[in-house]
């Protein structure tokens, strides 16, 4: 029995591009959809609003080392 | 069950008592945030530029009520985040910071009573608007 040399199929650049293009388009499309899904808009807090004052208060307590975190059971009474 | 763990800052707990009339709505929204904190939530910013809110997110409870939180895996990637209280917590943790109205007018009056009044008057306005349109 003679030794068989593996034959590597030759593909022209044009053919390779034709094969890869739809695949690349699909990958880019999926990545863009995923990116858009995780790209939220920005919500602006207005100074003087209760939420804004809360954020200032949290920062104050952080500087004083008085941040206190609670478990769900402590908050919802479960 | 959510893959995210959760802790609540003291301000959140206090506000939950203050806005007891919307507690159920807040709880439902918080559960939805935990299911996927990146979906239907927004980055937070400050119009005046006084507070650096980078790394914080906001989720809408209703027209005027919002949850503010950070996701540990996200705020760890934001060195400027001043509200990252994630030390010792897993990446997949949501830290709820506060909840409340974002309308400036609410700050001037008693919050709980004002909230109930606002809900009532908002419905009234909506009814009036519907009547005008029809």
Question: Where are the domains positioned within chain A?
Answer: 13-76
Using a CB-CB distance cutoff of 8 angstroms, which residues of chain B are in contact with residue A36? none
Query: What whole-number distance in Å separates Cα of residue B51 and Cα of residue B31?
Result: 27
Asked if B42 and A55 come within 8 Å (Cβ–Cβ), the reply is no
H or E stretch at B94: strand B93-101
Please state which CATH class domain B5-133 belongs to. alpha beta
From chain A, pick out residues whose CB is under 8 angstroms from the CB of B104.
46, 48-49
Q: Taking residues A58-66, what's their average pLDDT? A: 94
Q: Which of A29, A24, A62 is nearest to B51 (CA)?
A: A62
- The reply to whether B50 touches chain A by the CB within 8 Å rule is yes
**Other beta carbons within 10 Å of B37:** 22
CB B57 within 8 A of CB B114: no
pLDDT number for residue B115: 45
The gap between the terminal CA atoms of chain B, to the nearest Å, is 45
Provide the phi-psi class of B88: left if phi over 0, else alpha when psi is between -120 and 50, else beta.
left
- The arithmetic mean of pLDDT across residues B79-99, rounded, is 93
Average pLDDT, chain A: 86
Residues 36-65 of A with CB under 8 A from B: 37-38, 40-59, 61-62
Backbone angles phi, psi at A42, to 5 degrees: -105, 135
CA neighbor of B85 nearest in space, from A12, A70, A42: A70
**A1 pLDDT above the threshold of 80:** no
Judging contacts by C-beta atoms under 8 Å, the chain A residues touching residue B55 are none
CB contact under 8 A, A55 and B95: no
What contacts A19, CB < 8 A, 6 or more positions away? A11
CB contact under 8 A, A70 and B13: yes
**ipTM of this predicted structure:** 0.76
Quick check: B42 and A51 CB within 8 A? no
Tokens of A9: 């199929």
Q: Which of B53, B67, B69, B80 to mutate to test the interface with A (most CBs of A within 10 A)?
A: B53
Which residue bears the tokens 């003291």?
B10
Average the pLDDT over A56-68 and give the result: 94
Q: Which residue of A has its CA nearest to B89?
A: A69
Residue A47 pLDDT grade (very low, low, confident, very high; cuts 50, 70, 90): confident
Confidence grade of residue B120 (pLDDT, cut at 50, 70, 90):
very low
Separation CA B14–CA B11 (nearest Å): 5
Joined together, the tokens standing for residue A4 give: 């068989």
Query: What percent of chain A is modeled with pLDDT above 90?
Result: 54
- The Cα B107–Cα A70 span in angstroms is 25
Q: pLDDT over 70 for what percent of chain B?
A: 75
Q: Which of A39, A42, A43 to mutate to test the interface with B (most CBs of B within 10 A)?
A: A43
Q: What percent of chain B is predicted at pLDDT more than 90?
A: 57
User: pLDDT, tens digit, for every residue of B22-59?
Assistant: 999 999 999 999 999 999 999 987 767 788 999 999 99
């Amino acid at each position: 029995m003679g030794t068989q040399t593996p034959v590597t199929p030759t593909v022209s650049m044009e053919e390779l591009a034709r094969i890869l293009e739809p695949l690349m388009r699909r990958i880019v499309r999926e990545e863009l959809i995923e990116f858009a899904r995780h790209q939220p808009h920005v919500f602006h807090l207005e100074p003087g609003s209760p939420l804004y004052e809360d954020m200032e208060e949290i920062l104050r307590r952080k500087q004083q080392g008085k941040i206190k975190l609670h478990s769900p059971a402590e908050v919802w009474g479960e | 069950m959510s893959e995210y763990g959760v802790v609540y800052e003291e301000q959140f707990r206090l506000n939950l008592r203050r806005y007891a009339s919307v507690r159920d709505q807040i709880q439902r929204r918080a559960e939805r945030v935990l299911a996927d904190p990146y979906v239907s939530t927004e980055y937070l910013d400050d119009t005046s530029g006084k507070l650096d809110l980078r790394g914080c997110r906001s989720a809408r409870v209703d027209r005027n009520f919002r949850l503010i939180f950070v996701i540990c895996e996200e705020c760890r990637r934001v060195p400027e985040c001043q509200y990252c209280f994630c030390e010792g917590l897993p990446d997949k943790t949501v830290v709820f910071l506060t909840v409340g109205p974002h309308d400036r007018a609410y700050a001037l009056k008693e919050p709980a009573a004002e909230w109930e009044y606002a809900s009532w008057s908002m419905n009234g306005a909506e009814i009036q608007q519907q009547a005008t349109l029809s």
